[in-house]
Structure 1
Amino acid sequence: MTEDRKLAPWVKPVLELGPALLFFAIFLLLRNRTVMLGGTEYQGFVIATMVFVPAQVVATAILWKLTGKLSAMQVMTLVLVVLFGGLTAWLNDPRFLEMKPTILYLFFAAILGASLALRRNWLQMVLSDTIPMQPEGWRILTLRLVILFLCMAALNEIVRHTMSQTAWVYFKTFGLVIIMMGFFLGNAKLFERYALTKDGDGSES
């Protein structure tokens, strides 16, 4: 097995968040304008999507080149960005990209739910090097993530159907990230309670 390639601490966040922030900046610049390309008029949202999709592809390729691997979530995110972002640009319809978070979160809720039903620690297989925990801790975290992803999918649908496009862009760019960060910070006690010691045993007596 090859060792993970070390990166400067800022590289991964820039590559993962950069395309979304670029989309956000272009959207704010063009949200009240239309742009004519090839005889077709496009909203600022669609133009921002046309930049976002290749930026996401390039950023993911660079991350893979630098680290030698991609997580399942990074791969699935890229696939959905290309699919739904491509449909948004091709059909000139913002709704497809707005649906992407819903599909992504439902997909991961289904995968993690299946792992619980099959009594498999798939989440542990992916994250055990980052968060060493006992199997029971992984089971609890998986269940909580299933609930979180279902709630985030529902919340995305509520926001995109009841609020303005600008509100959705703010929600997608910052709101969902803050929710995920808050979730993992809120589970600090779980990580501590079920942490593994250096000899591989649980920290509880």
Structure 2
Amino acid sequence: MNPYVRLLTEAGPLAAFFFTNAQAGIMTGTAVFMVATLVALGVSWHFERRLPVMPLVGAGFVLLFGGLTLWLNDDLFIKLKPTLVNLLFATVLFAAHFARRNVMKHLLGTVLALTDEGWRTLALRWAWFFLLLAALNEAVWRTMTTDAWVNFKVFGILPLTLLFSALQTPLILRHQVTDEEQASAR
């Protein structure tokens, strides 16, 4: 998929949520977020003929918690969504670690080639990061206005995630397996 289309499918629903919330409030923003999420999945399917696991899980949560928000007319549910998604991801990564399975390798193994130690370290770092994001989301929605929470969701969580991802580069480079090493391991 074209990188710009990929960026649009990944960040577009969040941008739509942000702008609609600013213009029409959290309920309309939530409805637009749900529709934009479904459109993004449709675009992903159109270009790749598959639905990536993480966006699919995220979409399920958006539809479930967005639906509860609209049905019950209570923004608590859409505010809880990031906490629960991040807790789910952290739980999966920690459980897989203790079961000596590597979910990250399964999800990213076609993009990255790392040593087993590299995959374990990367997975644990992401698990802890997801816990941090869950705690931050809880602190922000419980102590700030809804508009401040939406701003944090767009201008806090997203940049923090991009920064955290970039900070993993030294680990990835240190544990990267070359094509020759992969070939000799087969």
TM-score, normalised via structure 2 length: 0.94
Aligned to 2:58: 77
Residue aligning to 1:25? 19
- 1:130 aligns to what SS in structure 2? coil
1:66 aligned partner:
47
Distance 2:37 2:45 in 1: 12
Map of 1:135 onto structure 2: 116
2:134 is aligned to 153
Cα RMSD between the aligned structures?
1.1
Structure 2: how far apart are the matches of 1:151 and 1:182?
A: 14
Quick one: distance in 2 between partners of 1:55 and 1:187?
30
- Asked whether the 8 Å contact 1:16–1:60 carries over to 2, the reply is no
Separation (CA, whole Å) in 1 of partners of 2:21 and 2:103: 37
* Structure 2 unpaired stretches of 5+: none
Which residue is 2:144 aligned to?
Answer: 163
Distance in 2 between residues matched to 1:148 and 1:8, nearest whole Å: 28
Pick aligned residue for 1:13 from 7, 10, 34: 7
Q: What percentage of aligned pairs have identical amino acids?
A: 38
TM-superposed CA distance for 1:47, in Å, is: 1.1
Larger Rg: 1
Post-superposition shift, 1:66? 1.1
Partner residue of 2:155 out of 168, 174, 180:
174
In 2: Cα distance, 1:100 partner to 1:166 partner = 16
Q: Distance in 1 between matches of 2:152 and 2:125?
A: 22
Instruction: Say which SS state the counterpart of residue 46 (structure 2) adopts.
Output: helix
CA displacement 1:77-109 (0-9 Å, x = unmatched): 010000000111111111100100001000011
Q: Is contact 1:46-1:92 (8 Å) kept?
A: yes
Indicate the residue corresponding to 1:121 in structure 2: 102
Give the 3-state SS of the residue equivalent to 2:181 in structure 1: coil
Give the length in aligned residue pairs.
182
Which consecutive residues of structure 1, in runs of 5 or more, have no partner in the other structure?
A: 1-6, 31-43
Q: Does 1:47 align with 2:47?
A: no
**CA distance in 2 between partners of 1:170 and 1:10 (Å):** 23
SS in structure 2 of the partner of residue 138 of structure 1:
helix
Question: Of Structure 1 and Structure 2, which has the larger fraction of its residues in helix?
Answer: 2
CA contact (8 A) 1:71 1:126 kept: no
CA offset at residue 8 of structure 1? 1.6
Contact residue 112 and residue 142 of structure 1 kept, 8 A = yes
The structure 1 residue matched to 2:125, chosen from 144, 150, 168, is 144
Report Cα offsets for 1:178-199 as digits up to 9, x if no partner. 1111111111110110011111
